[in-house]
């Protein structure tokens, strides 16, 4: 995931220098290539632990302009999650991803994360895109 954040950081830096304006219509291709590169690197390590979770999937869909990640909790089943888990996770997800220019500007790109319990039952679906981030 560190590589993913490095790619997104570079996109932010390039945008501040106006590089994406020069690229124009190729912005989607630039984002797609960066995301696909990150996906290829991360897939080599999957599954791997991220705190109490294990990253189990990462997909980039360039046609839909979407980054999709899946992680599952190492120990918790659906009933073990606290009442405020969804609230806190949503707030943290939005704060982390809405700082990124790919999702906080109207690029059409989105990121979605599915959080699952140990039995792979979906606990929470988190999304970030321009519509969500501009609220």
Cβ neighbourhood burial of 65 (10 Å; 0-12, 13-18, 19+): middle
Residues 6+ away with beta carbon under 8 Å from 40: none
Q: Please report where in the chains the tokens 């979770």 appear, as a residue.
A: 53
Question: Domain-by-domain residue ranges, the chain?
Answer: 2-133
Mean pLDDT of 56-83: 95
Mean pLDDT of 105-130: 95
pLDDT category of residue 135 using cuts at 50, 70 and 90: confident
The predicted structure's pLDDT at residue 52: 93
User: Under a CB-based contact definition with an 8 Å cutoff, are residues 108 and 65 in contact?
Assistant: yes
- Say if strands 66-73 and 110-116 run parallel, antiparallel, or are unpaired: parallel
CATH for 2-133 is: 3.30.300.250
Q: Average model confidence (pLDDT) for the chain?
A: 85
Closest CA to 102 of 2, 9, 1, 6: 9
Percent of the chain surpassing pLDDT 90: 68
pLDDT category of residue 82 using cuts at 50, 70 and 90: very high
The predicted structure's pLDDT at residue 4: 47
Provide the token pair at 93.
């997800």
Mean pLDDT of 94-98: 91
Provide the token pair at 43.
């897939």
Task: Say how far apart CA 94 and CA 62 lie, in whole Å.
Answer: 22
pLDDT in tens, 10-61: 455 444 444 444 444 588 899 999 999 999 999 999 989 999 999 999 999 9
């Amino acid at each position: 995931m560190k590589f993913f954040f490095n790619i997104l950081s570079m996109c932010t830096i390039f945008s501040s220098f106006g590089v994406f304006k020069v690229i124009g219509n190729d912005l989607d291709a630039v984002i797609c290539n960066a995301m696909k590169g990150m996906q290829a690197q991360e897939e080599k390590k999957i599954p791997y632990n991220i705190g109490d979770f294990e990253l189990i999937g990462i997909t980039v869909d360039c046609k839909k302009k979407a980054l999709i990640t899946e992680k599952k909790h190492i120990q918790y089943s659906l009933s073990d999650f606290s009442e405020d888990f969804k609230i806190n996770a949503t707030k943290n997800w939005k704060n982390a991803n809405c700082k990124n220019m790919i999702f906080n500007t109207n690029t059409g790109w989105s990121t979605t994360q599915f959080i699952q319990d140990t039995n792979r039952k979906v606990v929470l679906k988190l999304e970030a895109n321009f519509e969500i981030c501009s609220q």
